[in-house]
Amino acid sequence: EPTMYGEILSPNYPQAYPNEVVKTWDIEVPEGFGIHLYFTHLDVELSENCAYDSVQIISGGIEEERLCGQRTSKSPNSPIVEEFQFPYNRLQVVFTSDFSNEERFTGFAAYYTAVDVNECTDFTDVPCSHFCNNFIGGYFCSCPPEYFLHDDMRNCGVNCSGDVFTALIGEIASPNYPNPYPENSRCEYQIRLQEGFRLVLTIRREDFDVEPADSEGNCHDSLTFAAKNQQFGPYCGNGFPGPLTIKTQSKTLDIVFQTDLTGQNKGWKLRYHGDPIPCPKEISANSIWEPEKAKYVFRDVVKITCVDGFEVVEGNVGSTSFYSTCQSNGQWSNSRLECQPVDCGVPEPIENGKVEDPEDTIFGSVIHYTCEEPYYYMEQEEGGEYHCAANGSWVNDQLGVELPKCIPVCGVPTEPFRVQQR
């Protein structure tokens, strides 16, 4: 158990210490304290580098001191003949004697006490990023206004994360821009656009001033963009080193601005906008797109009108046009619809006549009706030629959609009446 103080005496003290002895004391005081170790008596055989008999003081596996010989107090008012201050709370003291103590050296008497360590000043490495506060047995870090102490209780940063940008156009800047950005911070921003848009970033060179990279090219302060399967950066330096326009293929972007303890640069500012996803312009000889554009993008609506003789069929209903919308996935709605030739279908039969089996019944096809000759004739002299019209009807130049009529031939006997001669 750690103690606040203690006594260490060499074997047989104050009698002569025995030969060939190695004794070790592990000293431990509470965390946050150092150790004040002092000797009130030291009488160990002297040798070069204390090679025969010695008192070693070891801290962290490193020999801090090796003592031998005799010491006397340098101050008449103090019994202390040797003393040490260690800023650590653990020490090891090892006493070693060789095979002879013919002169009967008496060894040592030493005491230790726990002493406060000023963590803020006693070490080369500063323990706090900003303000260090020492107290007995420990220390704590504190931060300037508008900074907060990180979970490591050592570093201060600013609360700059969490902003989520959803507008289609926007501007984002580092904290305090154009004034120097805070050190030791990690700012995370998110851009989350709706479906159908892809993010485009624009950064002017003069709007970027971040602590330059070190001699090995590492950015201690950096700006990084992460889109879906893409990363841009990290960027640092005076003047933006990346492309002035970054076109992502994503509707979301994570921005990370990381700063270290040093650096007093002004930061950065960027603009972004959502670029609507384009839909392919599908050229079709059978349809007309309105409005006609060189490029169609998300949310564009076009009216697709079939040219004469073509129609779009949905279920059993045919129409001459339909609307299509450029969707968020870059595909047109109603893309399964297409203008196809009007099909006039099987021509209707007529009484006392027939229609030849048509090779085809689509727009432009031609059929012929005939009457059962010689007993019927077609009422219209032009004959029974019909073509499949754009409205899906079989149309005759004279009759329109009306079917031809087969009229009985009148007054013609099959066999003339013969008067039998008497």
Interface residues with another protein (CB under 8 A)? 351-352, 372, 375-376, 407-420
Give me the least distance between CB of 373 and another protein, in Å please: 11
**Residue 28, both tokens:** 């431990």
* Closest CB 282 distance from another protein, rounded Å: 50
Nearer Cβ to another protein (323/375):
375
Give least dist CB 409 to another protein, A.
6
Closer Cβ to another protein, 373 or 382, answer by number: 373
Nearer to another protein by Cβ, of 217 and 416: the residue is 416
CB of 379 to another protein, least distance (A): 12
Cα-Cα-Cα-Cα torsion 217, 181, 252, 297, nearest 10 degrees, comes to -100
Q: Are 287 and 304 in contact (CB under 8 A)?
A: yes
With 0-12 / 13-18 / 19 or more C-beta atoms within 10 angstroms meaning exposed / middle / buried, residue 397 is exposed
Indicate the residue type of 243. Answer: P
- Residue 71 near residue 40, CB atoms below 8 Å: no
Residue closer to another protein (CB basis): 51 or 409: 409
Q: How far is the CB of 315 from another protein (least distance, A)?
A: 32
Nearer to another protein, 315 or 411 (CB): 411
Nearer to another protein by Cβ, of 145 and 411: the residue is 411
The residue type found at 86 is F
Q: Give ∠ CA 348-352-355 in degrees, rounded to 5.
A: 40
CA–CA separation, 177 vs 168, rounded Å?
A: 22
Q: Are 221 and 265 in contact (CB under 8 A)?
A: yes
Q: How far is the CB of 330 from another protein (least distance, A)?
A: 58
Rounded Cα gap, residues 89 and 218, in angstroms: 37
Q: How far apart, in whole angstroms, are the C-alpha atoms of residue 24 and residue 223?
A: 55
